[in-house]
Amino acid sequence: MCKWKVTKGASTWFRLSCLSLPLLLLLLCSTLPVACNDIHRAMLAPRGTNSSSSSVVGRHVRSYNHLSGDVRKRKLFSYQKFFLRIDKNGKVNGTKSKDDPYSTLEIKSVEVGIVAIKGIQSNYYLAINKKGVVYGARDFGVDCKLIERIEENRYNTYASAEWRNKKKHMFVGLSANGRPMRAKKTRRKNTATHFLPIPLE
Ligand SMILES: *[C@@H]1O[C@H](CO)[C@@H](O)[C@H](O)[C@H]1NC(C)=O
Ligand SMILES: *[C@@H]1O[C@H](CO)[C@@H](O)[C@H](O)[C@H]1NC(C)=O
């Protein structure tokens, strides 16, 4: 049987122990329109003709294999209202300007749940090194693999897929001044690490 638990103060957020993934995503999407654009698209997208694909079992989506290679053009708008930018020297920081060309990013799925984020103008990848320094990398490498996750407040977090600090995830974060945070100091719950992906056309 299903066990539903409504966490305190958040009537739209359920802990579901037995609902299928698509249903869970639809539930999320009905409450989280922005963050779920991509999920909607992924769920509605044609599956292609690869008959060995395991992504469809009946009507249920079982894996995200078909998302690999999906490219999205986005701005990342931080909880503190900065647009994340990667400039032509590979410097990462925030800007309040909506029109800063360095804040236009390309977010690409490279593995299930893992994305690469590239500044379209600068061609640098958003990266976190072993020491937790957030920087722009000229070439794609392990530092550039980021775990993308939708948090309970609708914002996304981006954690290094490669490096941890004492087994704890290290996140991309912008301080209240729009400066990149040392990822070792970041926490999932800290809103400095929270970003809304804004779709662009
Ligand atoms: C189907 O996809 C799998 C995994 O991506 C790949 O290994 C395989 O070669 C593909 N098959 C065809 C017929 O495209
Ligand atoms: C980000 O860096 C640019 C270029 O160095 C600078 O002009 C801008 O003021 C910085 N933004 C913040 C919020 O510090």
User: What CATH number has the domain bearing residue 146?
Assistant: 2.80.10.50
CA gap 13, 7 in Å, rounded: 7
Instruction: Name the DSSP letter for residue 193.
Output: G
- Output the residue whose Cα is nearest ligand 2's atom 3: 93
Q: Is 147 inside a domain boundary? A: yes
Q: Is 57 inside a domain boundary? A: no
Q: Is 165 inside a domain boundary? A: yes
Q: Is 156 inside a domain boundary? A: yes
Q: Is the pLDDT of residue 2 over 90?
A: no
Q: Is 151 inside a domain boundary? A: yes
Q: Is 51 inside a domain boundary? A: no
Neighbours of 26 (CB within 10 A): 15
Domain shared by 22 and 115, yes or no:
no
CA-based torsion, 128, 130, 132, 134: positive or negative = negative
Name the residue of 49, 50, 65, 68 whose CB sits within 8 Å of the most ligand 1 atoms, as the mutation to test its pocket: 50
Are 182 and 142 a contacting pair, CB within 8 Å? no
Q: Is 106 inside a domain boundary? A: yes
pLDDT tens, residue by residue, 150-187:
999 999 999 999 999 999 999 999 999 999 999 999 99
Q: Tell me which residue range forms the domain holding 188.
A: 67-199
pLDDT tens, residue by residue, 96-145:
999 999 999 999 999 999 999 999 999 999 999 999 999 999 999 999 99
Name the residue of 49, 52, 53, 112 whose CB sits within 8 Å of the most ligand 1 atoms, as the mutation to test its pocket: 52
Domain shared by 112 and 174, yes or no:
yes
37: tokens are 């654009």
Query: Which ligand 2 atom minimizes the distance to the CA of 87?
Result: 4
The pLDDT score that the predictor gives to residue 40 is 46
Are 75 and 83 a contacting pair, CB within 8 Å? yes
CA gap 172, 130 in Å, rounded: 13
Give the total number of structural domains in the chain: 2
Q: Is 75 inside a domain boundary? A: yes
